[in-house]
Structures are given as structure tokens and as C-alpha cells.
């Protein structure tokens, strides 16, 4: 079983739609959670951290469910520029590695 699992997609949605991705992780001791965005042929970049209480950054909302060991990302009012691969990222406690999921591809159509 992979440590971090994501639906690879692709998700193909119209501009303005709301889209949600989920991610599950296997290590119950994981302590830190993130979403990264990766554009085609570019390096990954941090989109947002995910906190236990859930957090929002503009059109993006991230949530964490520790009991079920999953993380979600919701994008509202999607824009063409949101087209990218979204990577779920999980880290442990101190002195532990940071693991990336395989990514979910999102394509926004006009």
C-alpha cells in the first residue's frame, strides 16, 4: 500500500465549477499535511498547509480528517489557471521524511 494515495484523475471540469480532491495516508503518526501544485514541466510549489481545524485561502479550502486518515482540497469558482496537478503531501513528526502522493490532474475547460 502506498503511503499517500490520490485519485490520479484527470478531472475535467468547466470554468466556474467546484471541484474536490481527496487523499488518504497510511501512517497514523503523520503530523503535517500539505497540498502542492505542479504545473506541466515545472517544479512542485506549496499551495497550502492543512490544519486539523480546516483552513481556507481564497477559493481553496483544505480539510483534514485524522480519524479516517484523509485530506481534502476544495476549489470553488475554478479558473482556467487552476489547471495543474495537485499533490497531496504528508510529513511525520520531527526527523521524518516528507512523502508526496502521485498527484491528481485537473483540467479546467472554458
Partner 1 sequence: GAGVSQSPRYKVTKRGQDVALRCDPISGHVSLYWYRQALGQGPEFLTYFNYEAQQDKSGLPNDRFSAERPEGSISTLTIQRTEQRDSAMYRCASSKQENTGELFFGEGSRLTVL
Give, as ranges, the residues between 8 and 37 that touch partner 1 (CB under 8 A). 8, 32-34
Q: In the chain, how many H helices and how many E strands?
A: 0, 11
Question: Can residue 98 be called a binding residue for partner 1 (CB under 8 A)?
Answer: yes
d(CA 13, CA 79): 10
Residues whose CB is less than 8 angstroms from the CB of residue 25 and which lie 6 or more positions away in sequence, other chains included? 3, 4, 5, 33, 69, 70, 71, 88, 90, 99
Q: Which of 14, 29, 43, 58 binds partner 1 (CB under 8 A)?
A: 43
Give the nearest distance from C-beta 24 to partner 1 in angstroms. 14
Residue 28 vs 110, nearer CB to partner 1: 28
| DSSP 8-state symbol, 19 | E
Give the nearest distance from C-beta 11 to partner 1 in angstroms. 15
Site residues (vs partner 1, CB under 8 A): 4, 6, 8, 32-34, 42-46, 49, 87, 89, 91-103
Amino acid at each position: 500500500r502506498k503511503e499517500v494515495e490520490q485519485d490520479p484523475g484527470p478531472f475535467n471540469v468547466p470554468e466556474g465549477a467546484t471541484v474536490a480532491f481527496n487523499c488518504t495516508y497510511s501512517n497514523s503518526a503523520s503530523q503535517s499535511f500539505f497540498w502542492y501544485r505542479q504545473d506541466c514541466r515545472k517544479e512542485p510549489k506549496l499551495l497550502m498547509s492543512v490544519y486539523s481545524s480546516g483552513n481556507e485561502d481564497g477559493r481553496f479550502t483544505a480539510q483534514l480528517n485524522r480519524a479516517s486518515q484523509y485530506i481534502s482540497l476544495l476549489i470553488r469558482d475554478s479558473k482556467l489557471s487552476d489547471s495543474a496537478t495537485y499533490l497531496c503531501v504528508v510529513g511525520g513528526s520531527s526527523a521524518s521524511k516528507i512523502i508526496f502522493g502521485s498527484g491528481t490532474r485537473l483540467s479546467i475547460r472554458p
